[in-house]
Amino acid sequence: MNTFSKTIAAIFAVLFVITAVMALILFNFDRRAFNAETYQQAFARGDFYNALPALMAEVMSSSTTDKSQYPNVMQSMSQDAWEAFLRALLPADAMKAMSDDVLNSTFSYINLQTDSVQINLTPLKNSMAGDTGVQAVLSLVQSLPECTALQIAEITTAALTGRSFGFCNPPAELLPVLAPIVQGQLQLAAFAIPDQMTLFSAPLQDDPRLRLQSIRFFMRISPILPLLFLLGMTVLAVRSLKEWLNWWGVPLFITGVAAAILAVIGGPILGTLLSSYIDGRMQNFLPTVFLAYTSDLAAAMANALLKPVLWQGLILAAIGFGLIGVGFFVKKQ
């Protein structure tokens, strides 16, 4: 009976090691992978923040966006023209702030705190209403075909009457006349643009986020299974202090070493697996712009996940080694 109990205990010890390593990964994945802060630092090193104007340009040029209150030159602007305009309009710090706002909104949406992903357009509106907006529009019109004599006459009349007009590339001497007209139209456009723009909304039925929450629930409780194996191993095999030190020390040491090794060498493998998971399973959770940065998302997840796994593995290995050492000392005595 004693041999049978210890055989089952040994099986439990092996299962403890396997499930404990998996629990470390799953538990940390739940804590880290669904937090915007995980990605902000990683994306700051990449090209994500530079992609925000392209995302906004796609929405601004969409056929579903009401452009009737925009200045004339903006009503027929292409997506490329919108992107160039927004890049000229938004300074780097405003672009980063708006990108971080998109990240925070995205993960609030994923975590069921909101039902849509939104972007705060206040920095854009402030730039449009100021001198930065005027300079951006003047840079834009200078890329247009040169004005004809009739168009120059229209600009001159508009300067006197305040009427709207079609944009073209005017002579340099007309730019000072054009600037206050542009500023007035931009202020009207800034007033017409909403403070927030919705980039992604939850479906009315069969919301995939609910399934994701169920998966995350099992990630959170994943440490329970190795603890049950550890408890079963203790009940079956431990009859003395020396046995407790050894039966706990060895599995903890192996678990810690395995987790630390996985954290050190498993980055590329985990990144590939996460990238495949995002492509295959998370397309319904993320705005389109994120899908173009799947590898960056996966790398950020892997990096954020493996760092705590490494330290937790080293701590477990140290605890296990300490228990083994104490057990050896007690045996020697």
User: Which of 14, 22, 18, 25 lies closest to 250 in space, CA to CA?
Assistant: 14
What single DSSP character describes residue 223? Answer: T
C-alpha span between 13 and 250 (Å, rounded): 9
Is the torsion defined by CA of 104, 108, 193, 52 positive or negative? positive
C-alpha span between 147 and 253 (Å, rounded): 78
Count other C-beta atoms under 10 Å from residue 223's C-beta: 16
Output the DSSP codes for 250-279.
HHHHHHHHHHHHHHHH-HHHHHHHHHHHHH
3-class DSSP assignment, residue 116:
strand
Helix axes 175-192, 149-161, angle to 10 degrees: 70
Count other C-beta atoms under 10 Å from residue 217's C-beta: 11
Tell me, what amino acid is at 36? A
Q: Which two tokens stand for residue 183?
A: 């500023």
C-alpha span between 36 and 33 (Å, rounded): 8
In total, the chain counts a number of residues equal to 333
What single DSSP character describes residue 169? Answer: B
Please write down the long-range contacts of 202-209, taking CB distance under 8 Å and 24 or more positions apart.
202/109, 202/115, 202/116, 208/284, 208/285, 209/109, 209/110, 209/112, 209/285
Q: By the 8 A CB rule, do 252 and 324 touch?
A: no
Whole-prediction pTM:
0.66
pLDDT tens by residue, the chain, 333 residues? 478 888 899 999 999 999 999 999 888 888 877 777 777 766 665 566 677 777 777 766 765 666 665 655 566 667 777 777 777 777 777 777 877 888 888 888 888 888 888 888 888 788 777 777 777 777 777 767 777 777 777 766 765 565 555 667 777 777 777 777 777 777 777 777 778 877 777 777 777 778 888 888 898 899 999 999 999 999 988 888 888 998 999 999 999 999 999 888 877 777 777 677 666 666 555 655 566 666 666 776 777 778 888 899 999 999 999 999 888 877 554
